[in-house]
Structures are given as structure tokens and as C-alpha cells.
């Protein structure tokens, strides 16, 4: 079989696998909640979508129940005719004004634990889930793109894991784990659609390299549907439109006088554009080329993930003992 034939076969098997086990048009984006210096809470938007194939849109009941860590929340979401969930402003129910996030008081009722929390959205017996990560206002974030950065290519990296093929960059799990162990928070950012959020989480957190998995962290995908996301990435070739807006939303959760973004990993010029836009220094932007080599500051010198792991304490210095204790509590 030709190389193109093998690729087509892998993609076909991947698509059949997705269709057979998942709801490809439903999903939810992970949520980041930041505790402010005064103890109040701020969160990124709550993006939740139910697919038409799930039978939800034909149901008379359009309420979406929310539970966090197995406990029902004191609020619900509503479902529109496109399958998107949204909040109603309680004091303006008649006009149906929608919101995509919650107030500090409402977030406080969720009793979030530091680090990862599991949120489940249920409508008409159908469910989608995501994670809520509670971070402190002084967190230092390292961003990693997914396709072509953690995987070995933009396209095959999405399909090969579905057919049991490891298509990850050698050494990436050990490097990112070492960065996490030094006290940084990991953010996985992808232009994939919201309908691919579940699959993306499954791939990332089931990835094992020599007994080492990727560290936990929010997986933030586009809130748009599959076709709009593909159009933006494949036709317009402008994934940065979503990524810049997303990173600016996250940055707005933190005090105005500090930038939470410490470093970024990507494989395209558009990733570098995004990272520069949110003021990550050039010296902390790592670009992975098509050979799996890391290029720093567009220098001709390259290194592998494994080599970078060897000097991780120089590039990602361990936090002070005070910061380390605080950040250790976040991941317990």
C-alpha cells in the first residue's frame, strides 16, 4: 500500500473509532478559576455544547444540570437550539440575557479544591464533562500547543492514537513533568474544536513515555464547532485568532500588574505570534520544527526535548520554598 493509502486508512479507522465511541459534536472546554489576593474568584467562560446526534435538541426539557466532584451545583445552564449551553441572568429572566461565566459568590458555592475538579453537565440523560482547575493569583503558567508540539504532526497526531499508534514527540512527557515539578502550572492550548475536547484530554493524559505521563493541566480548545474550527485552521490558516483571544481571557483573571505566562511551546509561526501578543519573552518561546527539534529565538542551534530536560532547572528555575509550598497545595 502506498504512503498516502496508509495515511487514508489510518484516518478512516480513526474517524470510525471516534464515531463509534464518542459524541463528536458535543463537548466542554476546561475551565480555569483563579483565586484573587482578596480571596474572591474569577473564571474563564463556561463553554458547553451538546450534539444533535445525542438527541438532546429534540427534548422538551432544555435545562442543563451541573455537578462538580459529584455534588450538584446550586445553578443550572440552559440549552439553545444549536446545542450550546448558557447561563441566564437571574434578575433578567424575561429578556433571556445569557452569560458564559459565574460570579465569585456562585463559584464559591462549588467548594472547589485546589488543582483539578471534575464538572459534569447533564441534559436529557446525556452528559459531557470537563475539568475545573483552581489556581492562585500568583501562578506561573507554561503553555503548550498540542498538534505538532506534543504530537509529531498536526494532522496524523489527531488520528494515530485512535488506532493504537504512538505519535508523540520523544521526551515531551519527561520535560513537561519536570517543569510542573519545579512549581509551574501547565496549560494545554489547542485550536481543535470543542467536540474534540474529550478526545484531546484522553490522548494527553493517557500518554506514557518510559513510565512517565504528562502532568495535569487544563485542556483549552476552541469553543466553536468542528467545521468552523477546521475552516479557521485549514482554510484561513489563522488559529491565532482563537488562541490570542483565549490567552487574553486567561490573563484577565490575574491582577492587572502581573503577567502569569512564563513560557510557551509551539510548532508554528502563529504560536509565536500568540505568545508574543501576551508578552511572553522571546527567550521563553520554544518552537518545535518538523524534525522534532526545538529552536529557541529562531537560532540555528537546535536541541531535543530530552536535552532541554537536562537543563530544565536553568530554564525553569524551581520556585522559592514559599512559592513551592503554595503551588504544591494547588496540586494535592
Q: Can you give the pLDDT at residue 99?
A: 75
What is the domain range of residue 280?
Answer: 141-330
Q: Can you give the pLDDT at residue 231?
A: 35
Together in a domain, 36 and 90: yes
Q: Is the pLDDT higher at 296 or at 231? A: 296
Report residue 242's pLDDT band, with 50, 70 and 90 as the boundaries. Answer: confident
- For 144-182, give one letter per residue: b (16+ CB within 10 A) or e: bbbbbbbbbbbebbbbbbbeeeebbbebbbbbbbbbbeb
Asked if 27 and 198 touch (Cβ cutoff 8 Å), the reply is yes
Together in a domain, 72 and 176: no
Q: Is residue 107 part of a domain?
A: yes
Q: Write out pLDDT tens, residues 173-225.
A: 999 999 999 999 999 999 888 988 998 999 899 988 888 999 999 999 988 64
How confident is the prediction for the chain on average, in pLDDT? 80
Together in a domain, 154 and 264: yes
Tell me which DSSP letter residue 235 carries.
I
Q: Is the pLDDT higher at 185 or at 7? A: 185
Percent of the chain with pLDDT over 70: 70
Domain end call among 136, 153, 181: 136
Segments of the chain assigned E as strands: 27-28, 31-35, 41-43, 48-49, 63-68, 71-79, 85-88, 98-99, 115-123, 126-136, 141-145, 185-189, 208-209, 212-213, 219-220, 261-266, 285-288, 294-296, 302-303
Q: Can you give the pLDDT at residue 295?
A: 82
Together in a domain, 81 and 183: no
Residue 121, helix vs strand vs coil: strand
Together in a domain, 125 and 147: no
Checking if the pLDDT of 28 tops 70, the result is: yes
Domain end call among 136, 163, 198: 136
CATH, residue 105: 2.60.40
Measured on CA atoms in the order 63, 226, 208, 262, is the torsion positive or negative? Answer: negative
Asked if 229 and 259 touch (Cβ cutoff 8 Å), the reply is no
Q: Is residue 243 part of a domain?
A: yes
Q: Is residue 11 part of a domain?
A: no
Domain end call among 105, 136, 167: 136
Q: Can you give the pLDDT at residue 118?
A: 98
Rounded-to-5 percentages of helix, strand, coil across the chain:
35, 25, 35
Grid cell 465569585 is found at: 104
Together in a domain, 80 and 207: no
| Residue positions counted in the chain | 332
Q: Can you give the pLDDT at residue 240?
A: 66
Q: Can you give the pLDDT at residue 331?
A: 40
Q: Write out pLDDT tens, residues 290-325.
A: 788 888 766 656 788 888 999 999 999 998 633 544
Grid cell 442543563 is found at: 64
Together in a domain, 179 and 313: yes
Q: Is residue 233 part of a domain?
A: yes
Q: Which ranges constitute the DSSP H helices of 22-155? A: 104-108
Q: Is residue 10 part of a domain?
A: no
Together in a domain, 101 and 212: no
Checking if the pLDDT of 142 tops 80, the result is: yes
Together in a domain, 129 and 162: no
Mean pLDDT, range 60-81, rounded to an integer: 90
Together in a domain, 170 and 236: yes
Q: Beta-carbon neighbour count of residue 143 at 10 Å?
A: 27
Number of domains in the chain: 2
Q: Can you give the pLDDT at residue 263?
A: 97
Q: Is the pLDDT higher at 11 or at 154? A: 154
- Return d(Cα 25, Cα 83) in angstroms, integer: 9
Q: Is residue 218 part of a domain?
A: yes
Together in a domain, 132 and 239: no
Q: Write out pLDDT tens, residues 72-115.
A: 999 999 988 888 899 976 555 445 445 789 999 999 999 999 99
CATH, residue 307: 3.40.50.1000
- Return d(Cα 213, Cα 15) in angstroms, integer: 25
Together in a domain, 146 and 115: no
Amino acid at each position: 500500500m502506498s504512503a498516502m493509502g496508509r495515511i487514508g486508512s489510518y484516518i478512516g479507522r480513526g474517524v470510525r473509532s471516534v464515531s463509534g465511541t464518542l459524541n463528536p459534536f458535543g463537548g466542554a472546554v476546561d475551565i480555569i478559576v483563579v483565586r484573587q489576593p482578596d480571596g474572591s474568584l474569577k473564571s474563564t467562560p463556561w463553554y458547553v455544547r451538546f450534539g444533535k446526534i445525542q438527541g438532546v435538541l429534540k427534548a422538551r426539557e432544555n435545562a442543563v444540570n451541573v455537578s462538580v466532584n459529584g455534588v450538584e451545583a446550586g445553578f443550572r445552564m440552559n440549552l439553545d437550539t444549536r446545542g450550546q449551553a448558557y447561563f441566564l441572568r437571574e434578575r433578567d429572566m424575561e429578556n433571556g440575557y445569557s452569560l458564559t461565566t459565574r460570579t465569585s459568590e456562585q463559584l464559591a458555592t462549588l467548594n472547589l479544591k485546589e488543582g483539578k475538579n471534575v464538572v459534569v453537565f447533564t441534559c436529557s440523560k446525556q452528559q459531557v464533562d470537563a475539568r475545573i482547575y483552581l489556581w492562585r493569583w500568583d501562578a506561573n503558567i507554561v503553555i503548550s500547543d498540542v498538534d505538532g508540539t506534543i504530537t509529531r504532526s498536526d494532522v496524523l497526531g489527531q488520528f494515530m492514537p485512535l488506532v493504537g499508534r504512538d505519535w508523540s514527540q520523544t521526551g515531551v512527557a519527561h520535560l513537561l513533568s519536570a517543569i510542573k515539578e519545579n512549581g509551574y502550572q501547565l496549560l494545554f492550548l489547542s485550536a481543535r474544536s470543542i467536540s474534540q475536547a474529550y478526545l484531546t484530554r484522553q490522548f494527553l493524559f493517557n500518554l506514557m513515555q518510559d513510565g512517565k505521563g504528562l502532568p495535569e493541566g487544563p485542556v483549552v480548545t476552541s469553543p466553536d464547532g468542528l467545521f468552523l474550527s477546521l475552516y479557521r485552521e485549514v482554510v484561513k490558516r489563522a488559529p491565532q485568532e482563537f488562541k490570542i483571544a483565549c490567552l487574553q481571557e486567561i490573563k484577565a483573571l490575574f491582577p492587572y500588574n502581573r503577567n502569569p505566562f512564563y513560557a510557551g511551546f509551539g510548532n508554528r509561526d502563529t504560536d509565536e505570534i500568540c505568545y508574543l501578543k501576551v508578552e511572553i519573552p522571546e527567550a521563553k518561546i520554544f518552537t518545535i520544527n518538523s524534525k522534532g527539534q526545538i529552536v529557541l529565538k529562531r537560532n540555528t542551534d537546535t536541541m531535543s526535548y530530552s536535552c532541554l530536560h537536562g537543563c530544565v532547572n536553568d530554564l525553569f528555575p524551581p520556585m522559592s520554598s514559599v512559592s513551592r509550598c503554595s503551588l504544591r497545595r494547588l496540586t494535592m
